[in-house]
């Protein structure tokens, strides 16, 4: 840990009660919905483009701000579902970082293990939403990531994406996990981790209890392509890298899982989609929270599916995250649509 980094360290938090440490990134996201008459959308088998006239001022229908980032989405999602959650973040000492921490505290996320680096910025994303899909412009502030000197030994850890300089932090974390083998870790690699490749991730994957990736990410990690109708093979290949449970989300096709013995598929719940940002994080936080509450994997997959369905119905990656009091109603909605988890 750098000497000039500042730990927020609120004294009121009790680490003994923390059930989940969420580790990764947080950002402020601005959602921009341009006027469709001023935009050109081109879709084909070979390319998908959204275009604007060069040099024009483009009218915007809606503008929404939201706290995002994979770790923040996971921490807020778990906290709303009744899981005592802390977050491990390195932020800039700027107004954006302050807004992120204020939001997390309002969501009852423990921020004891967050750091502020002087003279640095925090992450920010501009997201263009168009006909339910999103295009993201992401700014990852250059930084080194602080590994807390005294991390509490919690039942669960959720490790997600970090920027280009993630490797030293990941090394510290895997060393810590090896010293505390009772900790179960969920892992959701980001773009920099996927670029680094499997060889750079082997230590992390060997410590992973459950991994959450989408189909394209699973194909990249396993070196398998054209995996349609080969879900069992894809799941087995993913699990062979180390995870005890593998979960692959696949958009409108639902999600697939393998626990080392059985294969499962959970369908999506039909909803009106406003935007898809945060859908994968919502699935992960719902599924993980159910497992933390000792639900079986089949039930956990349903929790993930309904949490994701709720998020895509609103703009922003955290606005639609379910509270624990809403789960019974959404479970009934899932059942009333004659949906269920099936074995492959």
Q: pLDDT tens digit string along 18-39? A: 999 999 999 888 878 777 665 5
CA 55 to CA 69: how far, in whole Å? 31
Q: How does DSSP assign 269-323, residue by residue?
A: PP---S--TTHHHHHHHHHHHHHHTT--HHHHHHHHHHHHHHHHTSSSSSTTPPP
Domains, the chain, with CATH or none: 6-27+70-121+143-343 (3.40.1190.20)
Query: pLDDT at residue 4 above 50?
Result: no
What is the pLDDT, as a whole number, of residue 258? 98
Q: How does DSSP assign 116-138, residue by residue?
A: EETT---EEEEEEEETTEEEEEE
What is the pLDDT, as a whole number, of residue 1? 41
Residue 241 DSSP symbol: T
Residue 122: pLDDT band by 50, 70, 90 thresholds? confident
Tokens in use for 246?
């593998």
Q: Are 30 and 126 in contact (CB under 8 A)?
A: yes
What is the pLDDT, as a whole number, of residue 2? 42
CA 30 to CA 65: how far, in whole Å? 5
Please measure the distance between the N-terminal and C-terminal CA atoms of the chain and give it in whole angstroms. 47
Query: pLDDT at residue 183 above 80?
Result: yes
Nearest Cα to 306, choosing from 343, 266, 344? 266
Q: Which residue has the higher pLDDT, 280 or 50?
A: 280
What is the pLDDT, as a whole number, of residue 131? 67
Query: pLDDT at residue 312 above 60?
Result: yes
The alpha carbon of residue 146 and the mean position of all alpha carbons in its chain are separated, in whole angstroms, by 20
| Mean pLDDT taken over the chain | 87
- The model's pLDDT over 130-174, given as tens digits with 9 standing for 90+, comes to 766 678 787 777 778 889 988 999 999 999 999 888 999 999 999
Residue 10: pLDDT band by 50, 70, 90 thresholds? very low
Sign of CA dihedral 241, 244, 250, 251: negative
């Amino acid at each position: 840990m750098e000497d000039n980094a500042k730990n927020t360290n609120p004294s009121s938090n009790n680490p003994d009660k923390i059930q989940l440490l969420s580790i990764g990134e947080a950002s402020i996201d601005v959602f921009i919905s341009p006027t469709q008459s001023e935009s050109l959308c081109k879709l084909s088998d070979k390319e998908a483009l959204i275009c604007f006239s060069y040099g024009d001022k483009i009218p915007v229908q809606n503008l929404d701000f939201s706290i995002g980032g994979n770790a923040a989405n996971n921490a807020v999602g778990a906290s709303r579902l009744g899981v005592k959650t802390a977050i491990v973040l390195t932020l800039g000492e700027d107004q954006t970082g302050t807004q992120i921490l204020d939001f997390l505290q309002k969501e009852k996320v423990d921020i004891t293990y967050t750091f502020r680096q002087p003279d640095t910025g925090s992450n920010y994303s501009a997201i263009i939403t168009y006909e339910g899909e999103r295009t993201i412009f992401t700014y990852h502030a250059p930084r080194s990531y602080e590994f807390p000197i005294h991390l509490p030994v919690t039942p669960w850890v959720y490790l997600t994406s970090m920027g280009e300089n993630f490797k030293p932090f990941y090394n510290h974390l895997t060393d810590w996990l090896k010293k505390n083998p009772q900790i179960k870790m969920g892992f959701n690699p980001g773009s920099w981790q996927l670029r680094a490749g499997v060889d750079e991730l082997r230590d992390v994957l060997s410590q992973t209890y459950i991994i959450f990736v989408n189909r394209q990410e699973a194909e990249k990690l396993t070196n398998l392509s054209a995996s349609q109708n080969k879900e069992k093979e894809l799941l087995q290949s993913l699990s062979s890298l180390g995870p005890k449970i593998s979960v692959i989300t696949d958009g409108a096709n639902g999600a697939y899982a393998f626990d080392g013995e059985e294969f499962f598929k959970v369908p999506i719940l039909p909803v009106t989609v406003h935007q898809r940002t945060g859908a994968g994080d919502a699935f992960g936080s719902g599924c993980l929270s159910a497992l933390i509450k000792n639900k079986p994997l089949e039930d956990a997959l349903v929790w993930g599916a309904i949490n994701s369905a709720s998020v895509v119905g609103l703009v922003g990656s955290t606005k639609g995250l379910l509270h624990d009091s809403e789960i019974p109603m959404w479970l009934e909605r899932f059942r009333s649509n004659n949906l269920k988890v099936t074995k492959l």
